[in-house]
Structures are given as C-alpha cells and as structure tokens.
Structure 1
Amino acid sequence: MSPRVVVIGAGFGGLGVVRALRERGLTDITVLERADDVGGVWRDNTYPGAACDVPSPLYSWSWAVNPRWSRRYSRQPEILAYLRETADREGLLAHVRTGVEVTSLSYDEAAALWHVATADGTTYDAEVVVSAVGQLSNPAIPAVPGAETFGGPAFHSAQWRHDVDLRGARVAVVGTGASAIQLVPAIVGDVAAMTVFQRSAPYVVPKPDQGYRPVHHRAFERFPWLLAAERRSWFWLTERFNAALGGRSPISRPLLATLRAAWRLTLRHQVPDADLRRRLVPDYPLGCKRLLFSNEWYPALAREHVDVVTEHVTAIEPDGVRTSDGRLHAADVLVWGTGFKATQFLAPMRVTGVGGADLHELWSDGARAHLGLTVPGFPNLFCIYGPNTNLGGSSIIAMMEAQAGYVAQVVVRLADDGPHALAVRREVAAAYDREMQSRLADSAWSGCSSWYVDGPRITTNWPGLVAEYQARTADVDWDDLEEITA
C-alpha cells in the first residue's frame, strides 16, 4: 500500500519532493500551501529589483533545465514563471491545495501516523509528513518601540506594498541584507530622499550578469551540452567558494583574500566619498554573512539624496526613525529589509512526536537534525532545507533535490514493507550533530554574530561541499534508522 504523504509548502523544495515521489510511482501525496498560489519565496518576494544571486543555469531543477532564461541572474517574475510552468508540465500542481495553513503536527503512536491540523479545523492523516517551509518563509521585523505609531505606510520587503507610490517620497530602509541591496537601487531614482539604516555593512562584489540574446537561446536548444557545460562550470566555481567558507581547502585563505580584494576595489571605485566608504566597511570577517553581488548597490548609496546611517535605531515615531544619537530621520514610507527568522525551523507550527515530545522544546538551544532531514523520536517526519543545510554559496535547489531523493527512498521502503514507522537512531543523530558543530567551529562562520547562529550553535549552514551532501544522501543507510513501535 502506498503511504499517505503530506508535504507542507509548495515552493522549490515541496514541489521537488512531489516530483521525486511520483518518479518512483508514489502518488498518494497532498501538498498543503498556506498562500493562494505555489512559488514559495519567489511568490512572496515581489519587491522592486528582486532577483536571484545564483546563476539561473544552476538555480533550477536538474531535471528541468531551461534554455530560454532571459539573463544569467534571472529576476523574480521569470523564476516564478519557470517554477509554475515546470510544476504544471510535470503534473505536480494536481497535488497542491492552496489557502491551507498547517498549525500543528502530532504523532499518533497507536496508529503509526501523523495528524496534520490546519487553521480551518480540517485534519489530514498521513503516514509521512514532509515540511518544506524552508528557512526564508517568515519575515523578521525587529521589535522597535513605537513601530505601530508610524504615520505612513510601513511594510517588510517580502510583503511589498505595490499600492504605495514612492515617487517624491522620503523613504527609510532598515537593513542592508540581500533584499535591501536589490530594492534600494531599484527605487532610488524615484524617491525624493532615502535613508538607509545599517546595523552592519555587507561585503558586496560585482555581479557577473549578462543578458541572453536569441543566439544564446538557439545555441542552448540546438546544443544542450552548452547549457549543461555552463551549469557545471558555475557548480564548480560555487563549490570552490563553499570549500573556502568551510575552511578545509588549501585555497580557502587565497580565495577569501581575493574576494576581499575585489570588494575593496569595488568600494573604492564606486564610492568617491571617503567618509561614506568608511561607514560601508564590514566589522566582521568575510564569510560571516552571505557574500552579496551587485553592480548598483554602492553607486545608489553614493547618490546625493541618500544617507547611510550607522547609529542604532532606538524608536519609530509618527514622522520618522529616531537613532541612538537622538536624531529623528524624517520619513514618509518605512521599508523593513531585515530578512527572515531563519533559525526558527518549522515555526509557528507545533510539532509533537513520540511520548508527547515537543520539537521546539528539544530545539530550545538550537535546531538540529540528522542530515538536516530527520529527528529522533519523530518517525516518518522530514525537513526539506532543514537545520545545517543552507549554503554560503551555490544553489540550494541542489541540496533540496538530494533531500527529496532521500525522502523518496524511505517512502518507497515503507510502501514495500507495509505500514510502519522509521526514525533516526539517537546515537546516530548525536554523532552527526557533533560532527557538524565541530566542522563549523573551523569554518568562516565560527564566532560570527549573524542570522546563521542560534545561541552558541550554528544552526543553518552546511560546512562542506554540495557534492559531499549529495553523496551522503544518495543512498539511505538503513542502519541509521530504527523501527518505532507503539
């Protein structure tokens, strides 16, 4: 009998799981998506300038290469269209139920299945549950005193207000992360004045972007090996960067030094004002936060009507943003470019496993999961893009495809052997976690204060190469798993 599978989330991760299951003949799959459409982060992030910072030949499913990308670094509308069209062509959308928000997961030991409760009161029962909500699904907005008193429109970059006209407005942007470096250059020409509030400066290097012309499309279609070669080339390059961040490669120091030199030259060339350059120098080693790519960020900040403020934001008032130096920075519109709650995995769902164990209580000092996928005491529950599977470079889709293949192997075993429950052995999970934290302690992320870190633990990032992760998940080690009985 084919196990019932509930997948939570219909972005690249969730839809990739559906495809991996269907490829193996498994069809009893229900995807629950809280929004009104598929797409994940590429559905939600519609802010001006939204684009991918990984080349599209690599940031795409390996089983659905696209010879007709309009440019190397595709923008949000094109990526979302690719996801939708590919999912439709593969028959994946038939499994998706939109507008369904999962509130809790509880394991029924007697029946060996999961009860999946939703906000509308409906409960779905399934032998297998796969959470594919990702690390970038819940916006993070700081608890700044007085935020609710702001007199104008205020919104997060992932909840962009397209009905707000920014022409001639004074705009305050809080945050200088991956979203901010795209949206600020996209709107800077429309606004009357812009104030960018920076807690810590990012490292930004040139983006090797280019448009693909019809001649490229024809060549990619006629000679598929050309597109495959570009994909392999970008994979090789990003793997070198992953190796440098992991700290276990002989090229780590030279490569990071080269990138730092490229950043410094870019900053000096694009920002003539010495005082502004000083404010844009990061106060942490390269690698602590994601390296950002842009040809427009520094020139945008150097414009006369833009001010970069490094003083701490202490309050929001009806007329603007007040900082620790006592100054009130007037603003008509407030944009939060403050990223996501990346370390709060599976939140805000409540997850209860064997013996009533609460997953979030177990993760109170930081999330952990064997291979980033599975947790002892939570049988037949899997996380896509779970703890310690994020990348400092390269395409997360490659990681999620590897995870989908692992999950599919387990579900096939459940189908072949009849209904039962499998969970990772505690000693196996503990040994894996020790390995991860030990390797991360030797990496570029060690000692960094950033969104990678949850307390004393680095909970988000993978310390090795994508190729290593693919090898470790390619074949399930059945000795790692144990049968869970009532």
Structure 2
Amino acid sequence: MTETTETDAKTEQARPDHEVVIVGAGFAGIGAGIALKGAGIHDFVLLERAGDIGGTWRDNTYPGLSVDIPSPTYSFAFEPRPTWSRLYAKGPEIKDYADHCVRKYGIMPHVRLGTTVVAARFDEGADLWRLELAGGGTVTGRYLLSCQGALTTPSHPEIDGLADFAGHTVHTARWDHDHDLTGRRVAVIGTGATALQVIPEIAGRVAHLDVYQRTPIWVYPKIDPRLPRGVQELFRRVPATQKATRFVTTTAVEIIVTGVVHHRRVQPLVKAVERRCLRHLKRQVKDPETRERLTPRYGFGCKRPSFSNDYWRTFNRANVDLVTDRIDRITETGVRTVDGREREIDTLILATGFKVFDISFPIVGREGVELTAFWKQYRRQSYEGAAVPGFPNLFLVPGPYGNIGLSWFQMIDAQIRHALRVIGEARSRGVTRAEVSRQAHDRYMSWVERRMPRTVFLNGDCATANSYYFDEHGDAPWQRPSSVVAARRRSRSFPLDDYDYSTRVSAG
C-alpha cells in the first residue's frame, strides 16, 4: 500500500472540481462556455439558479417584449441567425436563439440548473474558488467567471404602502400571464425602456391606464420592418449579405455610443439626435401640455434611450392618463399623489427596472475582503472592466466600467476574450494564480477618470435623469468611456504582464 504524504494531500486539496466555474446561464455565460470550448478548455461547469437557461430573456415575458437593438447586432458575431422575423426581434425569438446556441455548441452538458450560489471564497492555500450552494454542497474551480448579468434582479420601488395594496401587483420581470388585464383599471409605475414596450401593448385592453412618470425618456423613431422569407433565404444562401446588414446596424448603434462617450466633442451630433426625437414627439402627441411633460430635460444618453413608434402616441388615447405628480403612497385601493388625489385601480404594474449593480452573493477574495463591501468603501472600480486586485482568478463579465456599446454581445465578446487571454497565459506558464497588479489597475482607473469628463454623464445635465447608469456614489460605472472598436481592440492587446502569475502549491 502506498503511503499518502502531506505533499500528496495538499496536491489533492489544490485540485479543483473544475478548471473554470461560470455563474449565470444568460448570454454572457453561454458565450463564455462556447469560448472556453473553442479554446480547448472543456473542464468547466455553468451554474444557473433558475430552471432554464436564457437569463433576462427567460425571466422577462411581458406583453410587447422585444430587443431594443437591431437583431443582427444583438447576437453572436460567430453565430448569425438568418431567420429573424423582423429587424427588432420579439422576446420569444431571442430566447429561442439562446436555446439554439446552447444546443449547437454542446453547452447543456456543462450546465447545472436549479443551482444557487450563496457565497464564493478564494482559497489562498489552494489557489481556487470555493462556491457554497444553497441547500449545502460546494463546487470548486481554479477560475471563476461571474456572468450574472445586470437585468436579472427586479428592483421594487421604495414607496410607502406598497405592501398594503389589496389589488393585483406584478413586476414586469415576473409577468403574471394568468391575470387578465381586459377591462381593468391599471397603473404603471415607471417610464423606462420596459414601460415603453408594455404601455402601448396593454392600453387598448384596459378600461383605464394611469402612467406614473418620474423622468421622461428620449425616444427615437423605430425602423422595424418585417424580414420576409425572401430576405431570410438571401441571408442563408449569401452570408455576406447578413454580415453587411450587421455592419450597418452596428455602425448605427455605434453612432449613439459616440454621442455618449465623446459627448463634449460631438455635441452637434447629439443635438441633432435630440431634435429628431423632439420632432418625433411633436408628430406623435397632440396635446401641447402632455408633450411638454413628456419632454426630457437632460441630455440624450444620460439614461438608456429607446426606439418606438407607439409609446408616445399612446398618450393620445382617452383612457390613458400621464401622471407626473410625485407619488405619496400606495393605498389599499389605489395610488395617492402628493397633491392629495387618489386614483383607484385594481392592478398595479411595476416597470421599475433592475438592480443593475448588485451581485447576488458575496465574493470574498484574499485576506477576507468582500467585493461589494470593497466597492462600497472605495467606489466601484476594476481593471479593464474585468478584474480587481485582491481577487485572483476572478473575471467579471462585466465589472465596473466594463460595458461597451449598447449591445450586450459586444461586451461579452470583449470581456470573455480578456479572461481567456489571462487563463491561457497562466496555463502556458504552468501556474495556478493570476491576479491583476494594483499598478495596472490604478493606471486603468486613472485613464477612466481622465475620460469621464468627456462623456454625457458629466456634460449632459444628467442629475435629473434618474438613470441606472449612476450608482449611489454619483459615479457612472456602467459604461466604459470608449468606443466599441477601441474596447475590443484593447481586449486583444492589453499587456498580459499587467497580471501577476504565481503558484501557492502544486496543482498536480
């Protein structure tokens, strides 16, 4: 019998269950899995708390749901879909695309559904992450990719009396299809991108609709043609035509991003876009007083703009009221505003968005430092939007100042490439730990600080926007202050020596 030595025991302890653990099975997690397989890394697991894949496109099923980025751009570049039914695909088509990608690239065998991570801790003695699961159990991985997404945890408004309402309450991210809105008196709280889709869809069915607006939204006309079979067949037979379409739609989106991140330099462009939106508003809304209340008083891009040909004109309907007085409280039977008026309703719809900066479980790095607490004390920060000093072998998809453009897929491409380059370098060096250096991190954050004054966030009168782009510190860590092209180029070229590589114990 071979005697087990102390070194053997340490080696066994340092051997993780998987080389890579991915948390979240939305498009970011799916994209990470596909990229890992493409890089020859097959030892990974994808942990998903829900019973299906798809992230926000699994959870959101509200009426009118569609993508607000042209479908050719809102997809993986390596997996174009020639059969989109229209330029802006409906939600079920996007979910079907996620299912298709999982099937085609063989990701499902790596997925563990119904698996909720409650904590992740870096084991400094073994150079691996230990993930604690709800109900007991642990999964370990050399590397941890946090792909939890931003539009997954619903945000409920802090309004007095919300729990006292005796009628039916529903959040748009958890839509109740068994509750028929036909003939009901309904209130919608919120006028962001989700409400912009829901409100026109339900207005014709309800007896009366009150829309409670805190902040107006910039709305650009929506060019959303159906893509007939002939076009789909052309895309299928001549892939170059679909690539050309993607190039055009991506360029159009990039123009909007340019107005956001280079606002100070391209103000004439931004003003032209605002004028186009205001002309659209004037054509769509008949009543001058209503138009005035629907007019944004902040710069285009301070909060996510959207595209619609139906939202604004919904306020011409006799059964729709725009309410801009501040809500005092929710009562058992309705909504009372600060002017003392109570509007009776039987259904309350919360179109109040998501907790975009929340991480759903504590992530504890070296020396017991927890990531959210670190950000709370020192403000949100990360190197290239992907890594944080003190948190080895952890990659955020995305982290602060890591999102690029308006299409989630552009971010996925850049951030996962970043992670794979570092993992590949660590593997080639035969080490078990990769941690971004404090010097490289601080250099990147200094660059961010120099760039932010050029963006709309510090030049567009954003204080009144009530935008999820801003956090509790007043910072705008959602968006990387650079173009998509520059960010993607950087993901291919950042110095790998910006990371420190080491091994604590033999990994076997």
TM above 0.5, one fold?
A: yes
Shift of 1:248: 6.0
Would the aligned equivalents of 1:437 and 1:457 in 2 still touch at CA under 8 Å? Answer: no
Shift of 1:419: 4.3
Cα distance in 2 for partners of 1:428, 1:248 equals: 27
Instruction: Tell me if 1:441 matches 2:453.
Output: yes
Other structure's SS at 2:140 match: strand
Shift of 1:475: 3.5
Shift of 1:484: 5.3
Instruction: Tell me if 1:429 matches 2:441.
Output: yes
- Number of the residue aligned with 1:411: 423
- Number of the residue aligned with 1:479: 497
Shift of 1:241: 1.8
The equivalent position to 1:128 in structure 2, one of 140, 143, 148, is 143
- Number of the residue aligned with 1:287: 301
Shift of 1:274: 1.0
Cα distance in 2 for partners of 1:177, 1:11 equals: 22
Amino acid of the residue matched to residue 403 of structure 2? Answer: N
Instruction: Tell me if 1:463 matches 2:476.
Output: no
Amino acid of the residue matched to residue 451 of structure 1? Answer: Y
Instruction: Tell me if 1:99 matches 2:114.
Output: yes
The equivalent position to 1:452 in structure 2, one of 441, 450, 469, is 469
Would the aligned equivalents of 1:100 and 1:120 in 2 still touch at CA under 8 Å? Answer: no
Amino acid of the residue matched to residue 108 of structure 1? Answer: D
- Number of the residue aligned with 2:178: 163
Cα distance in 1 for partners of 2:76, 2:264 equals: 28
Shift of 1:376: 0.2
The equivalent position to 1:79 in structure 2, one of 65, 89, 94, is 94
Shift of 1:134: 1.4
Identify which range, 175-184 or 297-306, moves more after superposition. 297-306
Shift of 1:417: 3.1
Cα distance in 2 for partners of 1:479, 1:211 equals: 49
Cα distance in 2 for partners of 1:385, 1:74 equals: 24
For residues 268-279 of structure 1, the aligned pairs below 5 Å read: 268-279=282-293
Shift of 1:343: 2.4
For residues 321-360 of structure 1, the aligned pairs below 5 Å read: 321-344=335-358, 346=359, 348-360=360-372
Identify which range, 402-411 or 164-173, moves more after superposition. 402-411
Deviations 1:371-403 (A, max 9, x none): 111000000001112211334x53120121121
Cα distance in 2 for partners of 1:398, 1:196 equals: 33
Considering only CA atoms, is the larger Rg found in Structure 1 or Structure 2?
2
Instruction: Tell me if 1:377 matches 2:395.
Output: no
The equivalent position to 1:56 in structure 2, one of 62, 71, 81, is 71
Instruction: Tell me if 1:142 matches 2:133.
Output: no
Amino acid of the residue matched to residue 127 of structure 1? Answer: R
Other structure's SS at 1:267 match: helix
Would the aligned equivalents of 1:42 and 1:79 in 2 still touch at CA under 8 Å? Answer: yes
Amino acid of the residue matched to residue 23 of structure 1? Answer: G
Cα distance in 2 for partners of 1:47, 1:437 equals: 38
Other structure's SS at 1:355 match: helix
- Number of the residue aligned with 1:218: 233
Deviations 1:241-276 (A, max 9, x none): 2112112685x2222112111111111111111111
Cα distance in 1 for partners of 2:202, 2:449 equals: 41
Other structure's SS at 1:128 match: strand
Would the aligned equivalents of 2:264 and 2:456 in 1 still touch at CA under 8 Å? Answer: no
Would the aligned equivalents of 2:425 and 2:496 in 1 still touch at CA under 8 Å? Answer: no
The equivalent position to 1:234 in structure 2, one of 238, 249, 268, is 249
Deviations 1:68-114 (A, max 9, x none): 10000001000000110121111011111111111111011011111
Amino acid of the residue matched to residue 331 of structure 1? Answer: I
Would the aligned equivalents of 1:379 and 1:484 in 2 still touch at CA under 8 Å? Answer: no
Cα distance in 1 for partners of 2:253, 2:220 equals: 15
Cα distance in 2 for partners of 1:35, 1:420 equals: 31
Amino acid of the residue matched to residue 228 of structure 1? Answer: K
Aligned residues: 482
Shift of 1:476: 4.7
The equivalent position to 2:373 in structure 1, one of 355, 361, 366, is 361
Other structure's SS at 2:187 match: strand
Unaligned 5+ runs, structure 1: none
Query: What's the TM-score, normalizing by structure 2?
Result: 0.92
Shift of 1:240: 2.0
Would the aligned equivalents of 1:243 and 1:249 in 2 still touch at CA under 8 Å? Answer: no
Amino acid of the residue matched to residue 429 of structure 1? Answer: H
Identity of aligned residues (%): 36
- Number of the residue aligned with 2:313: 299
Shift of 1:229: 0.3
